[in-house]
Amino acid sequence: MAAPLLFLLVLVLVLSAPALPQAADDGGDDEPRTTYIFRVDHRAKPSAFPTHAHWYASAAFASSAGSGPPLQPLHVYGTVFHGFSASVPASHAAELRRHPAVLAAFEDRVRPLHTTRSPQFMGLRARLGLWSLADYGSDVIVGVLDTGVWPERRSLSDRNLPPVPARWRGGCDSGPGFPASACNRKLVGARFFSQGHDAHYYGVSAAAASNNGSVEFKSPRDADGHGTHTATTAAGSVAYGASMAGYASGVAKGVAPKARVAAYKVCWKGAGCLDSDILAGFDAAVADGVDVVSVSIGGGSGATAPFYLDPIAIGAYGAVARGVFVAVSAGNEGPTAMSVTNLAPWLATVGAGTIDRNFPAEVVLGDGTRLSGVSLYSGKSTTNSSLPLYYPGKTGGLSASMCMENSIDPALVKGKIVICDRGSSPRVAKGMVVKEAGGAAMILANGEANGEGLVGDAHVLPALAVGEKEGDKIKAYAGNASNPTATISFGGTVVGVKPAPVVASFSARGPNGLVPEILKPDFIAPGVNILAAWTGAAGPTGLPGDTRRAEFNILSGTSMACPHASGAAALLRSAHPGWSPAAIRSALMTTAVVVDNRGGPLGDEAAEPGHAATPLDYGAGHVSLGRALDPGLVYDAGEDDYVAFMCAIGYEPNEIQVVTHKPASCPDATGSHRPSGSDLNYPSISVVLYGGNTSRTVTRTVTNVGANASATYRARVQMVASSGVAVAVKPEKLVFSPAAKKQSFAVTVTASSSSSSGSSAPAYGYLVWSDGAGHNVRSPIVVTWLQPM
């Protein structure tokens, strides 16, 4: 085939976004279509076809499935995954599953997004430590899978940056509003993937496909804001005089401010992220040459799918196997137990904590009671006059109490401060409902699910958020006073808040609902009230009616925590280019802190004040980059370890091959010590005792990466909540030398017979290896009991 023709074919396969469903001759005119992702054994390609794309689209491939015309693939994958996606009727998908080269097939799913002081709060200091030794990450490329990027922001300036690393193979996709010249030495690449999105929504209606008429760009340009925010949180350039309408003013910079950004737009405004597009983003990012991938996406209907049916887990495995570190967000479904998502052990799963900065606001009731809250409202206060206070939930029912659209009577709220309960709809959307109904201001009250956890919002009218207790007091006053009134005032920015960090109430929690032997989240990072760059296509609330525009925005979520970890990994990769992704994750985990800035244990926003959080909430603790540069010891792992892990949790060889791309075999699981997921060389130790079992021994191997090749470490176990559990470590001393950089040890967990009944609360504590020279390598230990299925 001539080169120009081949180029044209590849271009069509990779970049085309069909505006209509495929021709209906591959399964019947009346049969609905669904997009499927097909994992193919790439070694089975006949030599007659120059590329896999040619093979998948050929009549030969279709006839091998039994029937059907040639396929029209939406995506063709060839780096982290081998196969394709296509929109076909279910009957045709069933035929393709029987194709001798197809290893697996699964339906495309929609995933939700997990939505300038934080670098300093994590322990970074200018011209010192990790920032200085890593040259601020200038030789590292961070790939961000998200909603795209707004390239004109100062946080994406390439001023004073050296040339793009010569190993970079990526490109800059042009499209509406996004010329190829938008990329520079900072934004080194920008691509977009809409094929899965288009196939999913075009099958519903044209209006849905165009995101219900909202502004969107068929290019890498970010119409949503989420992608610009996460990219610049990880690797934003230094921007002086930054603020969001006066809040959080100062110098904004990413965690790795000289690292390069490659944006992969796989999510679309108001439409979420399709698995097939996410997988295409992984495929392109790794092929382009990124060093780190940041993915603030997850959950949805695939939250607890096994790894071989989870495109994020599969794509990430392919990246990690090629030395690319992958950070993912844990999800925002906290404080519910077992809500954490992105569970694969080759991922760094990041929860969210607070930082020592807040944006206080206050409501003063007519009886003089003063109650505290938070807000990012930038307009005038209501302190000049008391306004009537009204709670629509008293008479209007549940939807009115939460200020849902068209739920409140304008005649009842005009000119009043309206109390709205949190839940069901976005916080800022409730304010828009109140404003459009004629309300003068809003008080957003937490319920039991959110407790006292608060995040600031750039509301469209004077408004503040208050905790559950304050909300109950305000509603009681509004219901009992004959003429309830209130005023609201805003306190700007306050730094030095204590205690901090605290686990954010929304941050998803363990235990791991898929493989409880792996503790998730791995750690927490700043994820509350984070300032970073923002899109020019939407106001700070993201609501269609918000006409304000801002260069920076302040957001909260594990989406904001994830890029902190990505930026941290970029710095560590720059300082230690030979470290594996597992070693980088280990350094972040074993040096994480489990105390706040008062010296007390990490707390939980969702619990009573002073209540300590546990490793099920925060994993190994809160990232501390001042320590991660020199962790002393690391727990390393590679492909063989992950294959053994999947064997241990019961995956069949063909299921493992879907993840690893390679044929796999598992040893016979017999004998007194059956393999367990707990045996993976992981920096945290999660032991599950099933049925009446009272003891379990797991092994670990640590590698000395400290400057002193000859070092001796001694073990110390501290159980915080023991529940009748004893932990023994053998040997208790590890001696390293230039010839012995790796040492192994065993941890035996023994529970009393009463504890093993299954009714006990999880036991937890820490194993710390100390060398007496400043290295304290901490691993959380969690013990849970489960009854066999």
Rounded to whole angstroms, the Cα distance separating 227 from 455 reads 20
Query: Of 13-22, 161-170, 247-256, 383-392, which gets the smallest average pLDDT?
Result: 13-22
- Residue with tokens 């999880």, as numbered in its chain: 762
Rounded to whole angstroms, the Cα distance separating 411 from 273 reads 40
- Active-site residue, from 559, 676, 686, 779: 559
Q: Is 82 exposed, middle or buried (0-12, 13-18, 19+ CB in 10 A)?
A: buried
* DSSP secondary structure letter of residue 256: S
Q: Could you tell me which residue, 21 or 43, shows the higher pLDDT?
A: 43
* CATH code for the domain in which residue 412 is found: 3.50.30.30
Q: What is the pLDDT of residues 537-563, one digit of tens each?
A: 999 998 888 999 999 999 999 999 999
CB 348 within 8 A of CB 517: no
Rounded to whole angstroms, the Cα distance separating 316 from 566 reads 14
Rounded to whole angstroms, the Cα distance separating 166 from 171 reads 13
pLDDT at 786: 83
pLDDT at 625: 87
Q: Is residue 26 part of a domain?
A: yes
pLDDT at 130: 64
At residue 27 the predicted structure's pLDDT band, cuts being 50, 70 and 90, is very low
Q: What Rg do the C-alpha atoms of the chain give, in angstroms?
A: 27
Q: Is residue 15 part of a domain?
A: yes
At residue 45 the predicted structure's pLDDT band, cuts being 50, 70 and 90, is very high
714 in the same domain as 567: no
CB 273 within 8 A of CB 110: yes
340 in the same domain as 250: yes
Cis upstream peptide for 257 (omega within 30°): no
Interior/surface letters 677-704, b for 16+ CB within 10 angstroms, e for the rest: bbbbbbbbbbbbbeeeebebbbebebbb
pLDDT at 672: 52
Which of the listed residues 471, 490, 509 is the one where a domain comes to its end?
A: 490
279 in the same domain as 137: yes
The candidate with the shortest Cα–Cα distance to 45, out of 92, 74, 84, is 84
CB 695 within 8 A of CB 750: yes
* CATH code for the domain in which residue 218 is found: 3.40.50.200
* CATH code for the domain in which residue 99 is found: 3.30.70
Rounded to whole angstroms, the Cα distance separating 380 from 552 reads 20
Q: Is residue 495 part of a domain?
A: no
Number of domains in the chain: 5
Rounded to whole angstroms, the Cα distance separating 376 from 107 reads 41
Q: Is residue 113 part of a domain?
A: no
Q: Which tokens hold the place of 190?
A: 């920008």
Q: Is residue 112 part of a domain?
A: no
Residue 165 has pLDDT above 60, yes or no: yes
777 in the same domain as 740: yes
Q: What is the pLDDT of residues 66-115, one digit of tens each?
A: 666 788 999 999 999 999 999 999 988 999 999 999 999 999 999 988 76
Identify the helix (H) or strand (E) that includes residue 715.
Answer: strand 711-721
300 in the same domain as 152: yes
312 in the same domain as 174: yes
At residue 20 the predicted structure's pLDDT band, cuts being 50, 70 and 90, is very low
569 in the same domain as 484: no
344 in the same domain as 460: no
564 is catalytic: no
* CATH code for the domain in which residue 753 is found: 2.60.40.2310
- Active-site residue, from 82, 226, 622, 775: 226
Residue 24 has pLDDT above 60, yes or no: no
What's the residue count for the chain?
A: 789
Q: Which residues contact 105 (CB under 8 A, 6 or more apart)?
A: 36, 37, 38, 39, 93, 96, 97
pLDDT at 138: 85
Rounded to whole angstroms, the Cα distance separating 505 from 452 reads 8
At residue 15 the predicted structure's pLDDT band, cuts being 50, 70 and 90, is very low
Rounded to whole angstroms, the Cα distance separating 194 from 198 reads 6
At residue 626 the predicted structure's pLDDT band, cuts being 50, 70 and 90, is confident
Cis upstream peptide for 410 (omega within 30°): no
Q: Is residue 633 part of a domain?
A: no
Q: Is residue 150 part of a domain?
A: yes
197 is catalytic: no
- Active-site residue, from 146, 283, 356, 596: 146
pLDDT at 25: 39
Rounded to whole angstroms, the Cα distance separating 344 from 40 reads 22
Residue 487 has pLDDT above 90, yes or no: yes
332 in the same domain as 208: yes
- Residue with tokens 């950089």, as numbered in its chain: 741
661 is catalytic: no
Residue 383 has pLDDT above 60, yes or no: yes
Cα end-to-end distance, the chain, whole Å: 57
Q: Which domain holds residue 532?
A: 118-355+500-627
- Residue with tokens 């930054």, as numbered in its chain: 242
CA triple 682-673-347, angle to 5 deg: 20
589 in the same domain as 569: yes
40 in the same domain as 94: yes
Residue 423 has pLDDT above 60, yes or no: yes
pLDDT at 673: 61
Which of the listed residues 107, 131, 155 is the one where a domain comes to its end?
A: 107
Instruction: For residues 48-64, give the mean pLDDT.
Output: 90
The 3-state secondary structure of 6-25, one letter per residue: HHHHHHHHHHCCCCCCCCCC
- Which three-class secondary structure state does DSSP give residue 453? coil
Which of the listed residues 48, 77, 107 is the one where a domain comes to its end?
A: 107
The candidate with the shortest Cα–Cα distance to 759, out of 719, 723, 789, is 723
CB 529 within 8 A of CB 455: yes
pLDDT at 70: 85
pLDDT at 788: 64
Q: Which residues contact 747 (CB under 8 A, 6 or more apart)?
A: 685, 697, 698, 699, 700, 727, 728, 729, 767, 781
Q: Is residue 256 part of a domain?
A: yes
Which range, 18-22, 117-121, 194-198, has the best average confidence (pLDDT)? 194-198
462 in the same domain as 554: no
Query: Of 103-117, 235-249, 638-652, 749-763, which gets the smallest average pLDDT?
Result: 749-763
At residue 234 the predicted structure's pLDDT band, cuts being 50, 70 and 90, is very high
pTM: predicted TM-score of the whole model, two decimal places = 0.91
